[in-house]
């Protein structure tokens, strides 16, 4: 109970503190409400516009999630190939760095020209941002597996395939999640950049621009809050997956259900 | 007793460094043989040659009369690092070789459980290795070596990282397991006491180039206990080995 309180309570406390600071600054310095609204006004603009915002929010979530998965799958595949084939690693690494040096905003517009006003260019922008940290972390993980462990497998005559699945993959799970977590935080940024470039007239980024043009500052801040919530939620989901996938980092014994499953598989 | 392992004229050079000069060695089936020597004298290289991780530049290596040069899957192998994988439980770590080489069977699980129960780790079967002490982890690593069917076990300084107390416990435990298992053990150590306490033969190696300089038959009777460590035979043999390793004493 104490642990749950600390793990949940402290982050909530820090968010409350942030909101209070915001409130204090706006009130204390007599900031005009169309320069910066009070936190409650920003939140009220979300609940007040909920029927408009909800479908836009769903769209942003969809772009973030689809883009994340495309980027993760691309990143993992590329990383595995690069870690396994030295030549390809040397060939691709410069391109990899190049891909991230291109300003992503400058990339979004040509993508929209190619793919039109669909969700596709947005997904590509998100995937473009997400795949990089994933690839780097996978290459790192796979190339830092303990060579003594690999030798041990070799001594016992283990094949390449089994060594890969039994040792190299599980040893790379933690590094992989470092990459996925970075990707998860940036995914929503990619989605918003993509939305700005694609300008379909019905997405969260454009809602914000529209609100800005109408001096509806509360709605501007409200949509920023929504975007941030998408980013945080997705990050937390990835963290939850990590906790589920790496029980040995937190527990001293294996989960019962997992054991019974293994037993059943072995019996068959 | 019949010959299990025989090395004839085996040598290995890295770049221009002779790690193992032409070496002959014969190991009897069921025996416990220790190799002592300063670090860098080619002990681990010798093991890697026998394990098949390295191929010798010259010479022959035969197990039960058949050449095993450059081929793996013939011996049990254990290092100072326990090399337990953190993502598997004690049970699955013991079964690691099965996981690595073929489909796991229910007998593998049973075998792992029987071993763990017999040697006092039964209640830790579902634990992850990170929850275990250094001594317990080395026990698990040894059980992982023991469940393989190989008659020859190569142990490369397995207790080198343990504290003195745990190391003594592990030595007695190893002798017990060795006697029950009937395996042949080749054991590398830099601890002369350990080599004498455990083995039937103590082989002394010397560096530059790595070679065998002496091969002692241990007169110490079995079963051995702590009293064995203070007998005349023990001290006499230790003096001979120390002289080879460190030269004449400076008085
Ligand atoms: N893979 C290798 N490449 C180059 N040199 C090596 C390699 N393995 C061992 N050596 C060298 O061979 C010598 C013997 O090493 P090793 O067998 O590990 O010694 P020991 O186990 O007795 O301490 C050392 O000088 C070491 O530097
Ligand atoms: Mg060594």
Instruction: Dump pLDDT digits (tens) for A221-248.
Output: 999 999 999 999 999 999 999 999 999 9
> How far are the Cα atoms of A59, A90, A203 from residue A54, in angstroms, in the given order?
9, 46, 10
For residue A162, the model assigns a pLDDT of 96
| Residue B235 in tokens | 């001290």
**Which stretch of A182-196, B181-195, B236-250 has the lowest confidence by average pLDDT?**
B236-250
Q: How far apart are alpha carbons A249 and A181 in whole angstroms?
A: 17
The pLDDT of residue A124 is above 90? yes
Q: Which helix (H) or strand (E) segment is B35 a member of?
A: strand B32-36
% of chain B at pLDDT higher than 70: 98
Domains present along chain A, CATH in parentheses:
50-255 (1.10.3720.10)
Check whether B101 has a pLDDT greater than 60: yes
Best residue in B83, B93, B100 for a mutation probing chain A (most A CBs within 10 Å) = B100
Q: How far is the CA of B40 from the centre of ligand 1 (A)?
A: 6
- Taking the domains of chain B in order of start, what are their residue ranges? 1-75+152-251, 82-149
| Residue among A167, A251, A267 minimizing CB distance to B85 | A167
Count the alpha carbons within 13 Å of A159 in the hemisphere toward its beta carbon. Answer: 7
Residue B4: pLDDT band by 50, 70, 90 thresholds?
Answer: very high
Structure tokens at A267: 């019996």
CA distances from A213 to A210, A216, A217, A219 (A): 5, 8, 9, 11
With 0-12 / 13-18 / 19 or more C-beta atoms within 10 angstroms meaning exposed / middle / buried, residue A86 is exposed
What pLDDT, on a 0 to 100 scale, did the predictor assign at position A163?
A: 96
Give the model's pLDDT for residue A45: 92
Indicate if the pLDDT at residue A104 is higher than 60.
yes
The Cα A62–Cα B28 span in angstroms is 69
Looking up tokens 């998100």 gives A126
Q: For B1-75+152-251, which CATH superfamily applies?
A: P-loop containing nucleotide triphosphate hydrolases (3.40.50.300)
- Strands across the sheet containing B32-36: B76-78, B152-156, B184-189, B32-36, B201-206, B211-217
Mean pLDDT of chain A: 91
pLDDT at A34: 83
Q: How far apart are CA A132 and CA A72, in angstroms?
A: 9
Put simply, the chain A residues between 218 and 247 with a CB less than 8 A from any chain B CB are: 246-247
Question: How far apart are alpha carbons B96 and B148 in whole angstroms?
Answer: 10
Q: Which two tokens stand for residue B52?
A: 């098949």
Distant-in-sequence, close-in-space partners of A48: CB < 8 Å, separation ≥ 6: none
ipTM: 0.92
8 Å CB contact of A166 and B75: no
Question: What confidence tens digit (pLDDT) does each residue in B109-151 have?
Answer: 999 999 999 888 999 999 999 999 999 999 999 999 999 999 9
- DSSP for B75-96 reads SEEE-SS----TTS-HHHHHTH
Instruction: Report the percentage of chain A scoring pLDDT > 70.
Output: 95
At B1 the three-state DSSP class reads coil
pLDDT of residue B239: 95
Ligand 1 interacting residues, C-beta cut-off 6 A? B 14, 17, 19, 37, 39-45, 210
pLDDT score for A261: 61
Number of A/B CB contacts below 8 angstroms equals 82
B59: distance to nearest CA of chain A, Å? 20
Q: Give the list of residues 6+ apart from residue A118 with CB closer than 8 angstroms, or none.
A: A198
Q: Residue A26 is encoded by which pair of tokens?
A: 């706006």
A158–B87 CB contact, under 8 Å: no
H-helix segments, chain B: 43-51, 90-94, 96-101, 106-118, 134-146, 164-181, 192-198, 232-246
pLDDT at A259: 60
- Specify the pairing of strand B211-217 against strand B58-63: unpaired
Whether residue A268 has pLDDT greater than 60: no
Strand ordering across the sheet containing B3-14: B17-28, B3-14, B58-63, B66-67
Residues 6+ apart with CB under 8 A from B243: B249
Looking at per-residue pLDDT, the higher value among B155 and B120 belongs to B155
At residue A267, the pLDDT reads 57
Closest-approach residue (CA) in chain B for A254: B126
Q: In this predicted model, what pLDDT tens digit does every residue of A181-223 receive, in sequence order? A: 999 999 999 999 999 998 777 899 999 999 999 999 999 999 9
Q: Is A158 an interface residue toward B (CB < 8 Å)?
A: yes
Beta strand B184-189 with B152-156: parallel, antiparallel or unpaired?
parallel
Does A69 have pLDDT greater than 80?
yes
What is the CA(B190)–ligand 2 centre distance, in A?
A: 9
pLDDT of residue A263: 63
pTM: 0.88
State the CB neighbour count (10 A cutoff) for residue B18: 17
Mean pLDDT of A85-91: 93
Which ligand ends up closest to the CA of B38?
1
Q: What is the pLDDT of residue A255?
A: 78
Distance CA B197, CA A46 (A): 78
In whole angstroms, give the CA distance from residue A40 to residue A250: 38
Confidence band (pLDDT; 50, 70, 90) for B248?
low
CB A231 within 8 A of CB A185: yes
Residues, beta carbon < 5 Å, ion ligand 2:
B 44
* Residue B206, beta-bridge partner list: B211
Q: Reply yes or no on whether the pLDDT at A2 is more than 90.
A: no
Shortest-distance Cα residue to atom 14 of ligand 1: B42
As a whole number, mean pLDDT of residues A59-76 equals 96
Reference A99, options A137, A71, A122; nearest CA is: A71
**Interface residue of A156, A169, A261, A267 to substitute, partner B, most B CBs within 10 Å:** A156
pLDDT at B14 over 90: yes
């Amino acid at each position: 109970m104490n642990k749950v309180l600390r793990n949940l309570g402290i982050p909530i406390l820090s968010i409350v503190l942030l909101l209070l600071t915001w409130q204090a600054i706006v009130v204390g310095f007599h900031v005009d409400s169309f320069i910066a609204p009070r936190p409650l006004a920003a939140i009220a603009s979300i609940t007040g516009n909920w029927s408009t915002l909800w479908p836009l929010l769903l769209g942003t979530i969809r772009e973030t999630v689809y883009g994340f998965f495309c980027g993760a799958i691309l990143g993992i595949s590329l990383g595995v190939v690069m870690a396994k084939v030295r030549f390809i690693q040397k060939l691709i690494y410069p391109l990899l760095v190049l891909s991230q040096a291109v300003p992503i905003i400058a990339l979004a517009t040509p993508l929209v020209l190619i793919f039109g006003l669909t969700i596709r260019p947005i997904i590509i922008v998100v995937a473009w941002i997400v795949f990089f940290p994933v690839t780097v972390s996978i290459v790192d993980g796979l190339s830092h597996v303990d060579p003594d462990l690999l030798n041990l497998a070799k001594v016992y005559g283990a094949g390449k395939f089994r060594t890969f699945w039994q040792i190299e993959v599980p040893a790379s799970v933690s590094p992989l999640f470092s990459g996925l977590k970075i990707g998860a935080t940036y995914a929503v940024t990619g989605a918003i950049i993509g939305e700005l470039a694609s300008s379909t007239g019905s997405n969260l980024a454009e809602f914000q621009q529209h609100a800005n043009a109408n001096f509806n500052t509360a709605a501007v801040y409200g949509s920023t809050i929504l975007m941030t919530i998408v980013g945080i939620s997705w990050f937390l989901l990835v963290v939850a997956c990590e906790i589920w996938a790496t029980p040995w980092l937190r527990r001293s014994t294996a989960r019962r259900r997992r054991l019974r499953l293994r037993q059943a598989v072995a019996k068959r | 007793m019949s010959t299990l392992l025989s090395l004839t004229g085996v040598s290995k050079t890295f770049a221009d460094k002779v790690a193992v000069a032409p070496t002959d060695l014969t190991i009897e089936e069921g025996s416990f043989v220790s190799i002592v020597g300063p670090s860098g004298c080619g002990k681990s290289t010798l093991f890697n040659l026998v394990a098949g991780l390295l191929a010798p530049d010259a010479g022959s290596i035969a197990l039960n009369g058949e050449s095993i040069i450059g081929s793996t899957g013939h011996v049990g192998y254990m290092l100072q690092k326990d090399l337990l994988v953190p993502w598997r439980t004690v049970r699955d770590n013991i079964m690691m070789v099965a996981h690595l080489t073929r489909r796991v069977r229910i007998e593998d699980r049973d075998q792992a459980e029987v071993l763990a129960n017999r040697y006092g780790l039964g209640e830790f079967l579902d634990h992850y290795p990170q929850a275990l002490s250094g001594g317990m982890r080395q026990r698990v690593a040894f059980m992982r070596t023991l469940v393989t069917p190989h008659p020859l076990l190569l142990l490369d300084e397995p207790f080198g990282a343990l504290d003195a107390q745990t190391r003594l416990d592990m030595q007695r435990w190893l002798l017990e397991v060795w006697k029950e298992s009937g395996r042949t053990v080749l054991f590398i150590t830099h601890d002369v006491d350990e080599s004498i306490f455990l083995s039937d033969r103590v082989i002394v190696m010397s560096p530059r180039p790595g070679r065998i300089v002496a091969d002692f038959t241990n007169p110490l009777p079995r079963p051995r206990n702590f009293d064995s460590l203070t007998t005349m035979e023990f001290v006499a043999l230790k003096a001979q080995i120390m002289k080879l390793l460190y030269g004449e004493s400076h008085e």
